[in-house]
Amino acid sequence: LQVNAEESGDDLANPPKVEEKLGAVPHGLSTDSEVAQREAESISRKTLRSSAEKFEFQAEVSRLMDIIINSLYSNKDIFLRELISNASDALDKIRFLSLTDKEVLGEGDTAKLEIQIKLDKEKKILSIRDRGIGMTKEDLIKNLGTIAKSGTSAFVEKMQSGGDLNLIGQFGVGFYSVYLVADYVEVISKHNDDKQYVWESKADGAFAISEDTWNEPLGRGTEIRLHLRDEAKEYLEEDKLKDLVKKYSEFINFPIYLWTTKEVDVEVPADEEESSEEEESTPEAKEDEDTEEDEEKKPKTKTIKETTSEWELLNDVKAVWLRSPKEVTDEEYSKFYHSLAKDFGDEKPMSWSHFTAEGDVEFKALLFVPPKAPHDLYESYYNNNKSNLKLYVRRVFISDEFDDLLPKYLNFLKGIVDSDTLPLNVSREMLQQHSSLKTIKKKLIRKALDMIRKIAEEDPDEYSNKDKTDEEKSEMAEKKGQYAKFWNEFGKSIKLGIIEDATNRNRLAKLLRFESTKSDGKLASLDEYISRMKPGQKDIFYITGSSKEQLEKSPFLERLTKKNYEVIFFTDPVDEYLMQYLMDYEDKKFQNVSKEGLKLGKDSKLKDLKESFKELTDWWKKALESENVDSVKISNRLHDTPCVVVTSKYGWSANMEKIMQAQTLSDSSKQAYMRGKRVLEINPRHPIIKELRDKVAQDNERGVEADGSAGVPDGSDGERVQPARPQGVRVQHLQVGAEEPGPEPRRHRRGGRRGGGSAGFRGEVLQRRGRAVVRQGRAVDVSLFYGLYCFNVAAASV
Ligand SMILES: Nc1ncnc2c1ncn2[C@@H]1O[C@H](COP(=O)(O)OP(=O)(O)OP(=O)(O)O)[C@@H](O)[C@H]1O
């Protein structure tokens, strides 16, 4: 990383001290003029200090900086809130450390936890200083240049596809926004464990670090000096900065001061001549001589204008969550959310919940549902236990990466929790073990789920609001479509919640939304489904697959749709897992319509049908016995399709198998036990099946075995005809295509005879008649022959 080291003869392992090169004197020893001269030199030169150690930015960081520096983005204001937010984080860190070690704060000014902004109009420098934790030399190298965070490339990608620069803070690279307004930046920092260093860069691919021997010692903390570009001079106006702090940083929990200069009226002693002139010009003064005499003894004064400078406090540090919810306006909640979540998009949070928990464990909390899911919400979902809540103990920020404050599936929520019960002066690890955390977590989950339920309750599009009056609905108009929006952004989290949180499963199931055969392109809830159930319907029907369009064509739905039953479409891979956990809802069981055991009321004819197709089902079962086929049954779900393969009740569905097989690291041998047995269901009303039944019956009469051992002569030379078929098909014993002796069944004649092969002839007849399902949910036009062939393939492979 280090460049120019060789040229400058620096020893990489032991970088030379800057003093050695510059001949600088340590703090306190340099004279004012020397310091001023050195400072002036560094600023006017606008090249990095030649004696400093130089480093190259990590490639992604360099790309990011290029994008920022060349950006035509008009809202350059954002840099200030990013710097203030970093300063506030640094102050939080030192305050936290001081809980267990008071010494770290130091004394006097150094101990003041505040942020200061100063302007130098002449030199065009804007400085932001904090008395936070500061950065060691190593921190400066890593944090500001050489280590790209995970958000760096994500942000670069976003920006290349026209993303919004305003969201930079969410990607954890907010610091670099300084190059929107500055072409040269110095970061002066002092950490308790190291000396004071200066980091500097002109965003030209390199940065430099020097030990700081010329600036005022900071005590502790960081000062960022922005050498503003000409076109960014507006940031040297006090009013502009006051507005920006008000707009973006109002809720920072440390005082933010601006060094302001103003003209004030001052009383100064008036000189002699002026006082005598004044006396003469006031004739009324002679009226009361006694009083006059007294006053004459006082020294005469006059008012003049004088320029004074002072620190002006720009924010009201009172935490929003400590105020009563009645006092906080919607706008304030929105602004607080933006500053908390570093989400400065245009949208308001979808909802919030501000409450105080009382009892054994007392805390105040403010939770928000963001308007959008963050870009990495489900990345490393299972490896990330950190919630997005900031934990405070009696107003002191403890952590924003506290494990287990909320369950993983609620990690999309933002907010703060401020507890009075947790101890302050223990380590984070000990706090993590504290017994009241469990209670806090439990209460937070309840409140969070209530808040999400309310989004639905306030949305006029929601089923639960169907009984509301028009007036009520028009009041709710603002919230129209909010729940669908919520579902779009965070629906997967609710599903993960159903899987992971057995205690709240029912509450979460209420929040579930889906499309169905009756939802008409909208989202429906389970309550809505239940309200539409047919009299006598016991189960909630659903089907899983990869898209609604595909599922709508599924033969599994044929009779259900004909009989007006509603079927839910689950099309997200996570739905397969979901349905392994969601067994029932309001005493109704869930039934996958592609699985064995579908019951659609009583079918009085079933017994007779079973009897009449027994020969066929027995034959077929025998023919498939070496496959993974458990049984062959009369189907109650088919209407137009001759047969379908269903999976057994307890194994995976075919869709689940597909998902598992698609997983890169799947081990098929280990999956074998989860693969359900297959059941072949046949449609007793379908001509193909009826025909097969007749053929089997005829074969049986002639004594043809299922293994085809007693062949049937083709009528000309007495040889058995083997129908044309792909290799490995074990259906030849059916003799479907063979010309048979004796009376030909009427149906066979219709197609007429074509070509030499009788198989072809039969195939054509049947092709016109039927469709056979060969794979889960996919119907293909095939001849009976092909249907059977494909069934075999399907049964063996699905
Ligand atoms: N004023 C400061 N005091 C101490 N460390 C700082 C300061 N400013 C920046 N840093 C360090 O530099 C790192 C990079 O800052 P940057 O703003 O790019 O990202 P971030 O603060 O982690 O994320 P975000 O932009 O979301 O606040 C920070 O994580 C922090 O460690």
pLDDT at 791: 54
**CA 242 to ligand 1 centroid distance, Å:** 23
pLDDT at 192: 96
Which uninterrupted H or E stretch holds 53? strand 53-56
**CA 641 to ligand 1 centroid distance, Å:** 63
Which two structure tokens, joined as six digits, stand for 10?
């620096």
Which residue shows structure tokens 């001509």?
Answer: 687
Distances (CA, A) of 299 to 242, 289, 290, 292, 559: 40, 18, 17, 13, 107
DSSP helix, strand, coil percent of the chain (3-state; round to 5): 40, 20, 40
Instruction: Tell me the β-bridge partners of 680.
Output: 632, 645
Which ligand 1 atom is nearest residue 221's CA? Answer: 3
Instruction: Tell me the β-bridge partners of 353.
Output: 367
pTM of the model: 0.67
Burial 453-476 (b: 16+ CB within 10 A, else e): bbbbebbbbbbebeeeeeeeeeeb
Alpha helices in 385-481 (DSSP H): 428-432, 436-457, 470-475
Residue ID of nearest Cα to ligand 1 atom 31 = 143
Which two structure tokens, joined as six digits, stand for 351?
């909802």
Which residues, at least 6 apart from 216, have a Cβ–Cβ distance to it below 8 Å? none
- Order of strands, edge to edge, in the sheet holding 206-211? 2-3, 53-56, 206-211, 196-201, 182-190, 221-228, 125-130, 115-120, 256-269, 301-313
Residue ID of nearest Cα to ligand 1 atom 28 = 143
Whether 154 contacts 64, CB under 8 Å: no
Which two structure tokens, joined as six digits, stand for 263?
């003209």
pLDDT at 21: 32
Distances (CA, A) of 745 to 611, 706, 715, 720, 741: 22, 21, 16, 20, 11
The SS3 of residue 196 is strand
Which uninterrupted H or E stretch holds 495? helix 482-500
- Phi/psi-derived region of residue 466, left when phi > 0, alpha when psi is between -120 and 50, beta in every other case: alpha
Which uninterrupted H or E stretch holds 774? strand 771-775
Distances (CA, A) of 648 to 82, 357, 593, 602, 651: 57, 48, 11, 21, 6
d(CA 588, CA 530): 9
Residue 319 has φ and ψ, to the nearest 5°, of -65, 135
d(CA 342, CA 251): 12
Residue ID of nearest Cα to ligand 1 atom 30 = 143
Instruction: Tell me the β-bridge partners of 524.
Output: 514
Q: Single out the residue of 254, 255, 448 nearest to residue 365, CA to CA.
A: 448
Quick check: CB of 175 below 6 Å from ligand 1?
yes
Quick check: CB of 659 below 6 Å from ligand 1?
no
Q: How many other CB atoms are found less than 10 A from the CB of residue 330? A: 10
Q: Single out the residue of 154, 193, 188 nearest to residue 173, CA to CA.
A: 154
d(CA 603, CA 149): 63
Q: Which residues of the chain have pLDDT under 70?
A: 1-47, 272-298, 385-386, 601, 662-676, 704-798
d(CA 652, CA 673): 10
**CA 86 to ligand 1 centroid distance, Å:** 5
Instruction: Tell me the β-bridge partners of 351.
Output: 369
pLDDT at 291: 57
Pocket test for ligand 1, best of 116, 155, 175, 222 (most atoms within 8 A of CB): 175
pLDDT at 452: 97
pLDDT at 311: 94
Which residues, at least 6 apart from 464, have a Cβ–Cβ distance to it below 8 Å? 456, 457, 525, 527
Q: Which amino acid is at 779?
A: A
Whether 105 contacts 231, CB under 8 Å: no
Residue ID of nearest Cα to ligand 1 atom 10 = 86
Q: Which residues are annotated as a binding site?
A: 82, 86, 130, 135, 143, 149-151, 170-175, 222, 428
Pocket test for ligand 1, best of 143, 198, 220 (most atoms within 8 A of CB): 143
Residue ID of nearest Cα to ligand 1 atom 22 = 172
Q: How many other CB atoms are found less than 10 A from the CB of residue 279? A: 13
Cα 244 to its chain centre, rounded Å, is 29
Q: Single out the residue of 261, 236, 242 nearest to residue 84, CA to CA.
A: 242
Quick check: CB of 738 below 6 Å from ligand 1?
no
pLDDT at 161: 78
pLDDT at 24: 35
